[in-house]
Structure 1
Amino acid sequence: MNRRAFATLDRPYKNKTTLDLLNSLAVMKFSKIKPLVSAFPTLINMNNNAVNCLIKKTLFPVFCGGETIKQTIPTMRKFRESNIKTVLALAIEADVDELERKGTDAVSYTRKMVDDLKVCIDGASKFSDNFMAVKFTALVPPGLLKRWSFNLKKLQDHFELVSTDGLLSRSNVSLVQDAFPNLDASIFDKCDELSFSDITAAVSIFGPNAHQLILNDPLSVDADDIETFQLLLNEIKDICEYAQQKKVNLIMDAEHDYFTPAIDDIIIGLARKYPQGFIYQTYQMYLKTGFERMKRDLLRLEKEGVAMGVKLVRGAYMDHERHYAKMNGLASPINETLKQTNDQYNAAVEYLIANNVPLFIASHNEDSIAKACKLIGPNSNVRFGQLMGMQDSITFKLAQGGYNVYKYVPYGPVPVVMQYLYRRAQENREMMNRLDKDKRYILTELKTRSLFK
């Protein structure tokens, strides 16, 4: 199908049922009532049958494919009828207040999660060229991720303090040992000059030298943490190999910023093991460090001859990140203005397309998408995606124009996906100007069907 100009398409909702359109209108109305959106966390915490039933009849069918894979397959099929593919996601994640698991307890939990994710992969494989999205807090204990991130962040801060123009001579490795006394300089013997990426590659939690970053600090990982991760590695590799077998690409979703360094380390380790480029790492451009971190990781992998895809998002945890930073006396990791985020996002799109990196543009911003459409060539490896229930007009316009477009379709029992739905309600509140455009498209479509004339 030849691609047509993104901005010239019409009737993006022509393939949706009247009932779906009316339900979407109702959710848009709900999202404009600030007291209701503000009360949503309270509803989540109540988690009783009446609340679950209310959510199941209102928000759930707009934003989620179903409670099970069997219920979700028809949703995927319906999107396929409109040339829209799927990123399927079992909507489970955790935070640091979850029960701490170590050793065999952690393995048992992760093994159960891997079994559930295999069911998700089986569902995604029903159609060609689908993805599955994974959150690492569903596979690795969140406390472990946060502690490993603490060590890596401390390493980066100290490296930036003692290095010059991002490089450190091998003879000056002792300057890093000042902060990490267990670090053995002999692991760097093959390098005359070290970048931060060189050091993190040498002490990755995937390798035998991770113990060298252990600190006598309650915020640091300990030997049990690293041994737990080594036990979990077989389970993590199992899910990757199963996805490969089923020809389902993997997107590793972004999470809270205090998990980011650890998740980066794990995903880069996986990309090294599975260099076919079927693994996509997610970078959040509302983070001040997002663009530079992305470039650093890609340059490191390019140096090693490793391919990794990139999913580019603006971000989904803004309220939490700012609140966490304030409560802990930290500088906010979020850009100060929306313009800074938009500029960084668009610059990242240009950089990735220019360097032919497999790219998944996950965006609800019509301006960013229109700019990207002008940049991509006829054999582009660029994909577009929007969340189910959000900016449907963009998704259907891209599909009608022959672009490679996806819907992110989460599924799971209503009580499990409550946190996901809360973030969707928050995002709806923050992007109502763009949803108003969707509302106009929907009303126009309903009028075309002889309704509301």
Structure 2
Amino acid sequence: MQILQNTEIAFKIKTDSELRKAEIMFRMMSSPLAVNIMGMLAKLALGLRIPLRWIVKPTVFSLFCGGESLDEAKKVVEKLSEHNVLSVTDFAAENRRSEDEINQVITEIVAATDYAGTSEAVPFSVFKPTALAPPGVLEETCTFTGRQATDLLAAGKFRENIRILCEAAHKRSVPVMIDAEECQYQQLIDDICEEMMEIYNKEKAVVFNTLQMYRHDRHGFLKEAVARARKKRYFAGYKLVRGAYMDQERERAKKLGYPSPIHPDKESTDKAFDDAVTTCLENLDMTSLFVGTHNEESLLRLMEQMKDMGIPKDDPRICVSQLYGMSDHISFNMAAHQYNVAKYLPYGPIKYLIPYLIRRAEENRSVTGQSGRELHYIRIERKRRKKISKT
């Protein structure tokens, strides 16, 4: 744990005023009541088209997002790279409703991929599949079990949008991560991901699938997918995360009367995540691994495994990542010890990022959880700086 606890390294990128602002924001987010009220007001304001930019941008937006445009995000990328921390620029649009909006998203993601192709500080591109089809179309294309339904035309258009982005990434030799979605969509996305891997991953892992390890079927899926890739002789790329839709998944399963796809407790999710990391490391000759986690124990375990297996800290097939604005004690300390570390850096118009910001606030609302940990390290660093200023 000692390797992750140097707060001078963790917050070197932040000025005293930025550190104070972060402390205030995380203190607010440690209150479940405050988070619930802010979330309801934000959704209400969006529905009524009340401008939010004036209050959101200088507060929670600046803490968790890179900017309203790629050009704004580039400034944050440059700042992070000065401390050997990489970035994954993520145009965080969700659930676009019209064909024009979807085409705008594709154009933006291709531009971000072009940028990644010219910048050593941006090793990946990424996109959300739900940004590439209207919500109703995906609902019609998949049944609740995730099996493909009769709307083959809609499925074909969705697949083609994904192919365009994978082709752009392959052309620029930039690995692209396809984010995971809720269970009802994921089987279709998994099928398309493997199809794209087989096309574009002949020489290295360009296309990455994302596995949410809170699902009890994901480790088994991973082992089978790796076996298929080995048999068909292509490289496989996986982003491993614990997951982002737990409450929705359980509620949907209960409502529709099918077994919950989610592990029953945190311990089994943690084990599945760590086991999946091990599976990828054991197959590193033909897999690449992007470890998206804020869990200190999982990362300490990863570092120990890499050491035991003789894998260099900076092996290009392994990258770890945390969200921008969170877990800086992990990101900057691991980067200082030569591991490949990338901050997930969302950007885009504020109205597009409200759902993302609400999720971040909800993740941080327990004082004993993420928010409490952030406050712990921020307060240690502020105390350290005050002590130095007095000497």
Please state which band the TM-score falls in when normalised by the shorter chain. Answer: 0.7 to 0.9
Q: TM-score, normalised by structure 2?
A: 0.88
Task: Identify if the C-alpha distance between structure 1 residues 81 and 395 changes in structure 2 by more than 3 Å, giving closer, same or farther.
Answer: same
- The one-letter code sitting in structure 1 at the alignment partner of 2:250 is R
Q: Which residues of structure 1 form unaligned runs of 5+?
A: 155-219
Is the counterpart of residue 259 in structure 1 residue 185 in structure 2? Answer: yes
**Residue of structure 2 equivalent to 1:13:** 11
Aligned pair partner of 1:39 in 30, 37, 40: 37
**Which of 284, 289, 294 does residue 212 from structure 2 map onto?**
284
Report the Cα distance in structure 2 between the residues aligned to 1:232 and 1:290, rounded to whole angstroms.
23
- The runs of 5 or more residues in structure 2 that have no matched partner are none
Give 1:431 shift: 7.4
The letter of the residue matching 1:367 is E
The CA distance in 1 between the partners of 2:143 and 2:51, in whole Å, is: 41
Contact persistence 1:284–1:315 (CA under 8 A): yes
Distance change in 2, residues 1:264/1:124 (3 Å): same
Q: Residue 294 of structure 1 corresponds to which residue in structure 2?
A: 222
**Residue 445, structure 1, aligned to residue 381, structure 2:** yes
Quick check: 2:229–2:235 contact (8 Å CA) kept in 1? yes
- Using a 3 Å threshold, how does the CA distance of structure 1 residues 416 and 331 change in structure 2: closer, same or farther? same
Cα distance change, pair 337–233 in 1 and its aligned pair in 2 (3 A): closer
CA contact (8 A) 2:30 2:366 kept: no
Could you list the per-position Cα deviations for residues 105-124 of structure 1 after superposition, in whole angstroms to 9, with x for gaps in the alignment?
x5x55433211212222343
| Paired letter, 1:370 | L
Inter-CA distance 33–255: structure 2 relative to 1 (3 Å threshold): same
Alignment match of 2:365 (pick from 421, 429, 446): 429
Partner SS for 1:74: helix
Go from structure 1 to structure 2 and tell me whether the alpha carbon gap of 1:92 and 1:79 turns closer, same or farther (over 3 Å shift).
same
Q: Is the 8 A contact 2:92 2:356 kept in 1?
A: yes
Distance, in Å, in 1 between the alignment partners of 2:220 and 2:102 is: 32
Q: How far apart in 2 are the matches of 1:152 and 1:335?
A: 17
Residue 134 (str. 1) matches residue 127 (str. 2): yes
How far apart are the structure 1 equivalents of 2:166 and 2:371?
36
CA distance in 2, matches of 1:431, 1:260: 32
Q: Which has the larger radius of gyration?
A: 1
**Whole-Å separation in 2 of the counterparts to 1:130 and 1:270:** 19
Tell me the CA shift for residue 36 of structure 1. Answer: 1.5
CA deviation after TM superposition for structure 1 residue 255, in Å: 1.3
Partner SS for 2:211: strand
Cα distance in 1, alignment partners of residues 12 and 67 from structure 2: 23
Give the Cα–Cα distance (whole angstroms) in 2 for the partners of residues 328 and 27 of structure 1. 38
Match of 1:390 among 309, 321, 326: 326
The AA in structure 2 aligned to 1:6 is: I
- Cα distance in 2 for partners of 1:298, 1:387 equals 27
Question: What is the Cα deviation at residue 71 of structure 1?
Answer: 1.1
Deviations 1:168-222 (A, max 9, x none): xxxxxxxxxxxxxxxxxxxxxxxxxxxxxxxxxxxxxxxxxxxxxxxxxxxx622
Query: 3-state SS of the aligned residue for 1:71?
Result: helix
Query: Which residue identity does 1:76 align to in structure 2?
Result: V
Change (3 A) 1:38 1:26: same
The TM-score with structure 1 as length reference comes to: 0.76
CA distance in 2, matches of 1:23, 1:126: 33
Deviation at 1:440, TM superposition (A): 2.9
Tell me, yes or no, if the aligned pair for 2:145 and 2:183 is still in contact at 8 Å.
no
Match of 2:21 in 1: 23
Q: For residues 368-402 of structure 1, give each alpha carbon's deviation from its aligned partner in whole angstroms, at most 9, with x where no partner exists.
A: 00000011111632110000111111111111111
Q: Secondary structure in 2 aligned to 1:333?
A: coil
Q: Which moved more, 1:330-339 or 1:433-442?
A: 433-442
Spell out structure 1 runs of 4+ moving beyond 6 A: none
Partner of 2:267: 339
Q: 2:7·2:329 contact (CA, 8 Å) conserved in 1? A: no
The C-alpha deviation readout for 1:395-435, integer Å capped at 9, x for no partner, is 11111111000000000111110001111111112574344
Call closer, same or farther: CA 1:52–1:326 in 2, change over 3 Å.
farther
Identify the match of residue 413 of structure 1 among 349, 360, 384.
349
Q: Give 1:367 deviation, angstroms.
A: 0.4
Task: Tell me if 1:313 matches 2:241.
Answer: yes
Matching of residues 129-168 of structure 1 within 5 Å: 129-150=122-143, 153=146
* Shift, 1:28, TM fit: 1.0
CA-based RMSD: 2.5
324-333 vs 381-390, greater mean Cα deviation: 324-333
1:234: how far off?
4.5
Alignment of 1:8-407 (within 5 A): 9=6, 11=8, 12-45=10-43, 46-47=45-46, 48-94=49-95, 99=97, 106=99, 109-128=101-120, 129-150=122-143, 153=146, 221-222=149-150, 225-231=151-157, 233-275=159-201, 276-356=204-284, 357-376=287-306, 377-378=311-312, 380=315, 381-407=317-343
1:86–1:124 CA contact under 8 A, matched in 2: no
Q: Which amino acid aligns with 1:252?
A: I
Structure 1 residues 151 and 287: CA distance shift in structure 2, 3 A: closer
* Letter in structure 2 aligned against 1:65: G
Distance in 2, matches of 1:326 and 1:267, equals 28
User: Which letter does structure 2 place at the counterpart of 1:448?
Assistant: R
Q: 1:288 deviation in Å?
A: 1.4
- Would you say how many aligned residue pairs link Structure 1 and Structure 2? 374
Task: Output the CA distance in 2 between the equivalents of 1:263 and 1:36.
Answer: 36
What amino acid does structure 1 have at the position aligned with 2:3? F
Please give the alpha-carbon distance, in whole angstroms, between the structure 1 residues aligned to 2:367 and 2:207. 30
Residues 299-318 of structure 1, C-alpha deviation per residue, up to 9 Å, x if partnerless? 22221112121100001111
